[in-house]
Structure 1
Amino acid sequence: MWLTVLLRVLACGTVALAPLEGYLLQVHGQSAKVVPALLIGVWLFSLYRHRRLPAAHPLHLVIALLAVVLLATSAVHVAEPFTLEYLVRWVPFLVIAVVLADVAAREVPVRALLAAAVAGAVVAAAGGLLSLVGGSLRATGPVEDPNDLAFFLVAALPLLVALPARGRSRVVSLVLGAVLVAGAAATFSRGGGLALGCALVWLVVRRGIPVRAVAVTAAVAGVAALVFASAAQAELSRALQEKSHIAGTNADTRVLRWQAASRMLADDPLLGVGPGGFRQEYAAAGHNAEIDEQTPVAHNMFLEVAAELGVPGFALLIAFVAIGFVASERALRRGADRREAVAVQAALIAVLIASIFLSEQYYLPLWSLVALAVAIEQRSLKESRCAFST
């Protein structure tokens, strides 16, 4: 019993603390790794104690093959300055995806993990809004880059659909949704706005949320935005001016980086330039197009992964994402909770759209959402077997 409780606390803590990494890093440089490391350790002890292995799933094969590709390209590019640093960044996410898929299928309710993700994002959104009071022109809070903060918020917003929405819970959900929308809007992230719009369309089309709920949440957020705008008119004007000033530059630099990533992939389509290799090779591949930025990220997860891990790595990333959608659809056909499955799908869509403009492979939502989709499928399979046996 105590082991189950510990797994639940650590799993929910891992998900909830992901968007608050910046706050944790202010406490200690390694503090953000403590809870995930404890989760992995307790999970391994649980497997040993119960003498079992995780139920086999295609997810494990894809992650194992992705690990092989990572090790192979890292071995080829081990002399490069960023290779080992970025390899170490990749590995924990592969492990956490396996762990979350297993514990969410057995010990930890999926809805508890979805609630934890929302709770962490709401705190991050509140921190972002408070950062505006502190003088920031765009919401940052626990995440240094406003666009990355928007990524966490729009990935969490669809998950509200899976939480209870009756009586007082409905009011709470509307308030939390308004905070997330307001926080995302305060980042002035165009990619985040597009990702949120696509996720909401998916929810409406799949009957995960009524149009009225979208309208009410938007209205509440709109009122809050008007109140804020009237109270901080000068700051808002400066923020809009800054955003409009850098918008064109951002578009131009992203095109340059996408072109450089494409060149890297064309030069070495098998194993790419290695983990972190985009930063190392950008100046040469981009023909020094950005004199003041020699080691950036690609601002496109798909192109960056393709450039660094080659075609095999890119294909495995796509397969990993596909597993999430296929697993959730299979769960729906078996009668799984529709709100949970559709909410995870919508959140995954938000992650994918946002990742067209950002390099988000080193943040948890991508990995945790696919893991939860697999867990929903495995739970539905168990329930259908139980129903058949009775």
Structure 2
Amino acid sequence: MRAAQRCAWWQPETLREAVAASSESADVGTESAGGRVPFWALMAFTFVLLLAPQEFIPALAPMRLGLLTAAVAITTHVADRFTHRRPVMRVTRETVVAAGIAIWALVTLPWSYWPGGSLAFLLDMYFKTLAIFWLLGNVVNTRERLRLAAWGLALMAVPLAAFGVHEYHAGRFMDEGPVKRILSYEAPLTSNPNDLALVLNLILPVTLALALLQEATGPRLLLLGCAALDAVAVILTFSRAGFICLALTGLIYVVKLIRRPERGWVVAAIVLIVACAPLLPSGYLERLRTITDIRSDPTGSAQERWGDTQAAIRLVSQSPIIGAGVGMNILALNDMRGALWKKVHNVYLEYAVDLGVPGLVLFLAIQAGCFRTAASVMRRTAGRSVWRDLFLLAEGIQVSLAVFAVAALFHPVAYHFYFYYMAGLALAARAACEAETQG
């Protein structure tokens, strides 16, 4: 404000008033957006979640960096809201439905296979996930913060992908089984090759969105290099679900870009893929064939997961309303098909087995709501060059949500951060869009 007053002494009165009004509006916008500390604490939490520095620097482990950064983000956000006498959180349909899942999980606790275990699961896992989901939609509420969050994800994915590529070329694999699977990055979300592929596939569309909105050649090439590294790492995980999701991302962007000025990107990408096809790792195509012919899987995992899927469907038919209790599908499956102590590898069936059909319906409502939220941001910003970044980022987030909708058929990650982080970014895109269009 002082700077505006110092430089406006020579201007006509009307222009001076306009500058003052603009400065006042910027001050109000900053106050409405909230302080920077919660945002950077949230980004620090994301760094710890994805890269787990405590795994490489053991002295950091006692500090519990994940809990520390999340606590700082939440407490400073709440304090900032109270200081400025603003609502602590934006109440949206998606956050209400997410709260509904938590409430339903609490209501069904008495009928859980293990009530104490279900309560511990809520406290240790799902409530933390919901806290970050809520925080993303409330703290990442400006265009600048949304761009920074996207850049953060794109750059944080680089060490994950580079580690996977390095492990493959170094010949470090999980075991001596018929399919060589690389050792995964030691972090909460990437503890096995399938999860590593999932994380990279969810971040990839956001990286491509950032590349599309860059005008300078240098940053664009950097981001395209990051995207290519992500794709290579996904392939080297030998994850079948990872390949399906990678192909889905490519297909969606081909359909979208072929009708835009960026159609040249599509041609270049297709040529590059065809040229690199002979470089696929040995045994990769044989691994992909087991997607359609599960009996040919030499590891037996495809057959085992198909059996678990059938057992889970039988469990849902036997208890369609209450379920086995949140987080208890392992125990329910043990009863149904024997003690293997494995979750059902399907997010939708996880919710249905744990929380019955009501739990599944609530999750589908969140999923659809966040997808529509990203679509609404795209509609409001389409064709507006000044809001091109919002359009492309919302589009990337929507593609990530579509990727998860397919990946959910193969992963036991119903209550983890994978979906809820991208869903939170969808709410963040809406908040940023509303701040821009109403400002």
TM-score by length of 2: 0.76
- 2:413 alignment counterpart: 360
Which of 68-77 and 185-194 deviates more? Answer: 68-77
- Given the superposition, is the C-alpha separation of residues 69 and 204 from structure 1 closer, same or farther in structure 2, using an over 3 Å criterion? same
- 2:432 alignment counterpart: 379
- 2:163 alignment counterpart: 127
CA contact 1:195–1:349 (8 Å) conserved in 2: no
The one of 58, 68, 76 aligned to 2:111: 76
* Structure 1 residue 316 displacement after superposition: 1.0
CA contact 1:157–1:177 (8 Å) conserved in 2: yes
Which of 74-83 and 177-186 deviates more? Answer: 74-83
- 1:213 alignment counterpart: 265
Q: What pairs up with 1:154-173 in 2 under 5 angstroms?
A: 154-163=201-210, 164-165=213-214, 166-173=216-223
CA contact 1:15–1:364 (8 Å) conserved in 2: no
Which of 311-320 and 114-123 deviates more? Answer: 114-123
Uncovered stretches (5+) of structure 2, i.e. residues with no partner: 1-29, 174-179, 291-295, 382-386
The one of 329, 339, 350 aligned to 2:375: 329
SS in 1 for 2:150: helix
Q: What pairs up with 1:1-390 in 2 under 5 angstroms?
A: 4-21=35-52, 24=55, 27=58, 28=61, 30-53=64-87, 54-77=89-112, 79-80=114-115, 82-88=117-123, 89-106=125-142, 109-132=145-168, 133=170, 135-136=172-173, 137-139=180-182, 140-142=184-186, 143-163=190-210, 164-165=213-214, 166-207=216-257, 210-214=262-266, 216=268, 237=282, 246=297, 249-286=300-337, 288=338, 294-335=340-381, 337-386=390-439
* Structure 1 residue 278 displacement after superposition: 0.9
CA distance in 2, matches of 1:44, 1:25: 32
CA contact 1:181–1:221 (8 Å) conserved in 2: no
CA distance in 2, matches of 1:250, 1:333: 42
CA distance in 2, matches of 1:225, 1:5: 45
* Structure 1 residue 339 displacement after superposition: 0.6
* Structure 1 residue 51 displacement after superposition: 2.3
CA contact 2:238–2:287 (8 Å) conserved in 1: no
Quick one: which amino acid aligns to residue 208 of structure 2? V
CA distance in 2, matches of 1:160, 1:15: 16
* Structure 1 residue 320 displacement after superposition: 0.8
- 1:232 alignment counterpart: none
* Structure 1 residue 177 displacement after superposition: 1.0
CA distance in 2, matches of 1:19, 1:222: 32
CA contact 1:182–1:224 (8 Å) conserved in 2: no
Quick one: which amino acid aligns to residue 146 of structure 1? P
CA contact 2:308–2:333 (8 Å) conserved in 1: yes
CA contact 2:320–2:357 (8 Å) conserved in 1: yes
CA contact 2:133–2:424 (8 Å) conserved in 1: yes
CA distance in 1, matches of 2:150, 2:327: 31
* Structure 1 residue 83 displacement after superposition: 1.7
- Given the superposition, is the C-alpha separation of residues 237 and 380 from structure 1 closer, same or farther in structure 2, using an over 3 Å criterion? closer
Aligned residues: 374
* Structure 1 residue 161 displacement after superposition: 2.6
SS in 2 for 1:276: coil
- TM-superposition CA deviations, 1:125-149 (whole Å, max 9, x none): 1112222215224232232311111
Uncovered stretches (5+) of structure 1, i.e. residues with no partner: 230-235
CA distance in 2, matches of 1:7, 1:363: 22
Which of 198-207 and 335-344 deviates more? Answer: 198-207
TM-score by length of 1: 0.85
- Given the superposition, is the C-alpha separation of residues 161 and 239 from structure 1 closer, same or farther in structure 2, using an over 3 Å criterion? closer
Quick one: which amino acid aligns to residue 36 of structure 1? A
